[in-house]
Each structure stands twice: as C-alpha cells, then as structure tokens.
Amino acid sequence: MMTDDYLPRQVREARTTSLSVWSDEGAIGSSVPLLLRPMAAAAVVGSIGIAFPRILFNGYATLNAILANTQPEPPLSLLGYSFLKIGTTAFSLGAGLVGGLFAPSLFIGATAGAAFHSLVASATELAATNLVSLQLSLDVVPGSWGVLPILHVAAAPAYAIVGAAATLGALFRSPLTASVLLLELTQENPSIFLPTLAAATVAEFVLATFVEAQEQKRLEALAEACELPEDNVVEVDAQSRDAAKPTTR
C-alpha cells in the first residue's frame, strides 16, 4: 500500500491543499459533517459525470477509444475531459474517497496528448496547404522547398501514449518506468519509445524544477518571517529535498 512517504512532494502538497478545503475550517468541510463528506463528494462528481460520463471511474473506456482511434473527439472536448478529471480527482481525494492516482494520470495525459495531436495535425495541414498553393503560384514543384508539403503527423494514439507517459513519469518521478509501462500496456510500435522517454523525462524535470523553485521561495519567506540566518535556509532546503526523494522498501 502506498503511503504519503512514497508520493513526490508536489503530489503531497496538492493533496494537502485539497484536504484543507474539506477540513473543519475549510470552505466546504465547515458546512458538511465529517461522515457525510465522501458522500457529498461522490454526489458532486456523479452530477458532473451525468453531463460528462467519460470522466467517471478509471477512464479506461475513454483510453481504449482514444487508442483505437475509431471516434476522434474534438480537441476542446479532450482538454475539457482532462481538466475535469484533474478537478474531480483532487476534489475526491480531499473528501476522503480512495481511488489512487495511477488511472487518473493515464487519463489526463492521454486526453491532453490526443488534443495536442489534433492541434498539431490541423496546423501542419494548414501550413502545408498554404505552402503548396504558394509554390504552385510561383510555378515551383511542390515539395522542392522542404518536406512540409509531404510531412505526415503520427496518429492520435501515439500522441496519447506520449502524453500519458509524460504525466505518469512526472507524477511519480519515474520517466523510464512510465515509458516502458505504457509501451508494454498498449503494444504500440517501439519506434515511439524515444519520443515517449524524452517527453516523460522533460516533464519530470520541468515539474521538479518548478516545485523546487516554489519550495525555495517558501523557505526564504519562512526564514525571513522567523529571522533565520541565510545559511540555515540552505541547510533546511537541502534537508527538504532529501526528504522529498521517494524511497523504496
């Protein structure tokens, strides 16, 4: 069973923020009794799910539809699913509902990746069409100025896998494990392994860098409020980074 010690710092902080909303002094918890909070959260999420059923449960049905690429969704719908899943997951965790983070991370990454594919494919097609029209107007053979007119964008499932691996790798700070796991689960073409690993690595690095900068600012503000020497801030920051590293047993 995973405990808070195994979660990366950013996940623990997000969970703490969600819990504060549901606490006795929080915006919601102050008006909802403790025993009724999971049911209240379930009612809210269920109500949202009536309008957007794809975000309910583990989301594997939506993932399978994206990977099968049989019924492509508009990019705005996919982005909406992604943001709704983020909100409902945090809302549920704060209320005490147990569901984990593995399946939501796959859902969020896959829907965002598929939405990004739609945007990239549309932009590439538009740019290629305009370039071909310009070349034809100048009596130039299409494609003689580069590969854009004949450039093919990978299918939506590939983008979904890359997005899911990036989200999972950043969340659990394991980009290599996330990349291998996604390719094994989906049996996708191994040629996308390097892009998947690169995306997961960059996502983990960006998130870790951002969170570390925020933590440094928080520690500096705390030190200033407590009037601690600057050397102590560096020492506390080092201890904080060491404590945030996931451990294995």
What does 193-216 look like in DSSP terms, one character per residue? Answer: HHHHHHHHHHHHHHHHHHHHHHHH
Which of 64, 62, 102 has its CA nearest to residue 82? 62
The pLDDT tens digits of the residues spanning 122-146 come to 888 888 788 778 877 877 777 666 6
- Domain membership flag for residue 249: no
Residue 48 domain-assigned (yes or no): yes
Return left, alpha or beta for 30; rule: phi > 0 is left, psi -120 to 50 is alpha, else beta.
Answer: alpha
Assessment of whether the complete model's pTM goes beyond 0.75: no
- Residue 64 belongs to some domain of the structure: yes
Total number of domains constituting the chain: 1
Compute φ and ψ for 101, nearest 5 degrees: -120, -10
Low-confidence ranges of the chain (pLDDT < 50): 1-7, 10, 233, 236, 243-244, 247-249
Stretch (H or E) spanning 96 = none
C-beta separation of 85 from 60 below 8 A: no
The predicted pLDDT at position 1 comes to 39
DSSP 174: -
38: in domain:
yes
Cα–Cα dist 141/135, whole Å: 7
Kindly state the tokens that stand for 173.
Answer: 């700070």
19 burial class (0-12, 13-18, 19+ CB within 10 angstroms)? middle
Distance of alpha carbon 141 from its chain centroid, rounded? 43
CA 119 from centre of chain: 18
- Read off the CATH number of the domain in which 166 is found: 1.10.3080.10
Is the residue at 171 inside a domain?
yes
In a domain, 220, yes or no: yes
Q: Which domain holds residue 156?
A: 4-244
Between CA 236 and CA 227 the distance in angstroms is 14
Residue 148 has a pLDDT of 57
